[in-house]
A and B are shown apart, each in its own frame.
Chain A
């Protein structure tokens, strides 16, 4: 019967060409707009580290004085840690692995080749590589002795190593960073999780890449320039190791719910100790532990504009669908004669309902195809934007499938009320006036 209904639907749609075209256009506009914005939302809310993100957590402490009121013009200082807090958490070693890090911009030059330029990268403790699964193509992370001992070692990204040393092996060579000489101990593949979840709120999270990694202790000792948020609230807020300036990001790897609970207890205990010692003024219950995805949500990685655009597109789809319902109703009621003949020949109400439902679904399929084309146009226009997430606006197979599913489902739903209304047409009455 399904094939028969398809044939009936096809003929019926072909008979009223103009109306069919209008309906397909309306569906396509609604679907195109919605799928463009839903795809953008989908790529921006993706998991940056599939497989590993479930084990990564971010501690959150509140060392601010009671009377501090956050300014309108800067980030919340509590989104980062102070140096004493970060070092205390590192020393305690309560997680499987933990790392403290901050971003930096340095001028880099090699002995002979490249002309000096500025690159951005990360100052970090060595656990970052193992925790985030950073893939090495040569060498490895620096040793724990180098980590604590302010050694002048650096890990480069492959593209930077190529720029500095052409085709030669970069391991063991020296680079000049901000006037100091560093030895290359490792080269990593060009690795950039999207969004760059471990950077602070000032970074361009969807397009930035770290091109070098060097030990945090070295960066502090040499007073290398940072490129992130530095928020201070005390008198001695100019030293990097000050307890009244936050600038460090801290990540910890915890396997399993037990470890997570234990770490939360540890954080509260630490905050309590600081409160007793007079360093913290706010209650220890303000200390929190965020999962990776929870942290992205807390930091509002998806800009308000993008969410607003998605809602606008969905509202547009709703109005288009209302339009379709009204037009389908008009179309089905116009065919009362044909439907009454079918009923008189023995079709039950549910057969007529099914036939009209198939017709609505076929309409949705057509609208879905055109809507896909419109969505690709929409995504192309998003890619032309200068926003840092723009380059990621592409449809993956999941979104492609979702387009058709959305189109057919919405149209079939839209056809439900008209089909129900039309299948109630009694057979006898109409035959008389044929």
Chain B
């Protein structure tokens, strides 16, 4: 309380009024920095949320290997033989045929409806925007995929061996007897009710012939192939062993041996399908797939962070520079104050108080600037409005930066001896 009483408010304000121009410049600088740092932090938080989105798989120890052969597609028998060979490798806990993984890019999605009425509405309206219908991502998988990927079943069961249908080329998935859906998809198609045992309709058989597939299981979470806004976890597993020129295998191993198992798997596939016949084998760990998918976001995160830090640094430079200029200008008045009984702490407090006032005023202006900037970003980049929570956080940050920047000049001011006055 005694400190507050000694806060020299009136001398501070009057000295600032004498240096109007520099104070206004400092205000503007603080305001702009506040606006940019607030919005940059908001964008940063969004990107980090995007980069850490869960895939629904158990990612540690999961790898994706592939082999491609020219021509019109590999036979199911060839693919099964490859899977069996992969399972026989040392340290492989499981292997299964898939046609891709979440976040590996690519796309395969079918308009899907939960009942025949919805199907008719869709056909009439020429749009999937009908209640009870969605456009989930579809993953075609072979036997054992659920366990290898580490997906968590919350209802129902895995596919039975006889439910796997041999695949057709391209994206034809007709004739599958069963599907497993993600919980979000179940909620969209069937609301809060049970999904296991209900029928879904998709593809040619669903929409043209009205023949549906039974839902036999619901998994907790399964991410789409690529991220878009909203409905990112609506996906389904289709037990249709994919056929085509390239076959992908998901391989699970203990995380410690993952690199070696990946190399062994690639070598095995290369041996079985030699280079000279035109085959090509390769693979990645899931961690690499994830890093590749989010590379652009990682760059953006780095840029946003470095610009925010750079801006705070430049503002600190400005505050320190101006404060030392003021210390030099006011040597005489400081000496007078000291001669009249002010302690060193009083002088320091005066400078810190000036800085506090400038930062508070600057932030007040900066809030307006921040929301103006946020409105412009909303229009150009389809972002939501800046949440209020960032304002106090960045305010405290700027306050700290300001106080630290003015520390050295304030110490120098406090060191001015009282004797200077008498020299006239």
Contacts and interface: CB of A to CB of B under 8 A. Distances in A.
A116 B278 CA distance: 5
Contacts of B321: 19, 22, 326-327, 330
Nearest to A69: B127
A364 to B, nearest CB: 16
B71 A107 contact: yes
Contacts of A71: 128, 135
Contacts of A307: 380
B350 interface: no
B311 A316 contact: yes
A26 B29 CA distance: 13
Contact of A67 (B25, B71, B127, B276): B127
B315 A323 contact: yes
Interface string A391-428: 00000000000000000000000000100010000000
Interface string A188-217: 000000000000000000000000000000
Interface stretch (B143-151, B158-166, B250-258, B302-310): B302-310
Contacts of B25: 322, 325-326, 329
A241 interface: no
B70 interface: yes
B76 interface: no
A326 B29 contact: yes
Contact of B314 (A68, A320, A325, A331): A320
A346 interface: no
B303 A334 contact: no
Interface in B285-311: 292, 295-296, 299-300, 303-304, 307, 310-311
A166 interface: no
Given A326-B321, A385-B299, A386-B295, A72 B229 contact: yes
Interface residues of A, number: 50
Task: Give the residue among B21, B32, B40, B321 with the most A Cβ atoms within 10 A.
Answer: B321
Contact of B29 (A107, A319, A386): A319
A243 to B, nearest CB: 15
B297 to A, nearest CB: 9
Interface string A68-81: 11011100000000
Given A73-B107, A305-B300, A386-B295, A316 B310 contact: yes
A233 B328 CA distance: 76
B126 interface: yes
A386 B71 CA distance: 30
Contacts of A308: 43, 300, 381
Contacts, number: 122
A116 B70 contact: yes
Interface in A43-88: 65, 67-69, 71-73
B26 A326 contact: yes
B28 interface: yes
B200 to A, nearest CB: 18
A387 interface: yes
A421 B22 CA distance: 11
Contacts of A179: 71-72
Contacts of B314: 26, 29-30, 316, 319-320, 323
B275 interface: yes
A135 interface: no
A280 to B, nearest CB: 15
Interface string A282-322: 00000000000000000000001101110011011011101
B interface, over-half SS: helix
A386 B292 contact: yes
Contact of B381 (A107, A235, A304, A417): A304
Interface in B1-28: 21-22, 25-26, 28
A69 B130 CA distance: 12
B228 interface: yes
A324 B126 CA distance: 60
A315 B32 contact: yes
B315 A326 contact: no
Interface residues of B, number: 52
B88 interface: no
Given A326-B22, A327-B318, A319 B127 contact: no
A316 B317 CA distance: 14
A417 B21 contact: yes
A261 interface: no
A167 interface: no
A26 B300 contact: no
A115 interface: yes
A117 interface: yes
Contacts of A22: 317, 321
Contacts of A100: none
Interface string B249-290: 000000000000000000000000001111010000000000
Contacts of B275: 115
Contact of A117 (B26, B278, B304): B278
A33 B307 contact: yes
A109 interface: yes
A310 to B, nearest CB: 11
Contacts of B32: 315, 318-319, 322
B22 A330 contact: yes
B154 interface: no
A320 B310 CA distance: 10
B153 interface: no
Task: Give the residue among B36, B315, B318, B380 with the most A Cβ atoms within 10 A.
Answer: B318
Given A71-B128, A385-B295, A319 B315 contact: yes
B36 A315 contact: yes
A65 B230 CA distance: 26
B406 to A, nearest CB: 14
Nearest to A66: B126
Given A316-B310, A385-B299, A387-B296, A330 B126 contact: no
A393 B314 CA distance: 27
A353 to B, nearest CB: 16
A109 B69 CA distance: 13
B318 A73 contact: no
Contact of B304 (A312, A320, A334): A312
Nearest to A323: B318
Contact of A329 (B21, B43, B70, B295): B21
Given A312-B307, A387-B296, A26 B381 contact: no
11 contacts: A25-B317, A26-B318, A33-B310, A68-B126, A72-B228, A313-B307, A315-B36, A316-B311, A326-B321, A386-B292, A387-B296
Given A22-B317, A327-B318, A331-B325, 19 more contacts: A67-B125, A68-B126, A72-B230, A115-B278, A116-B70, A179-B71, A307-B380, A308-B43, A309-B303, A313-B307, A319-B32, A319-B311, A323-B315, A326-B22, A326-B321, A329-B21, A333-B329, A385-B296, A386-B292
List 8 tightest A-B contacts by C-beta distance, closest first. A116-B278, A330-B325, A107-B70, A326-B25, A323-B318, A69-B127, A67-B126, A322-B29
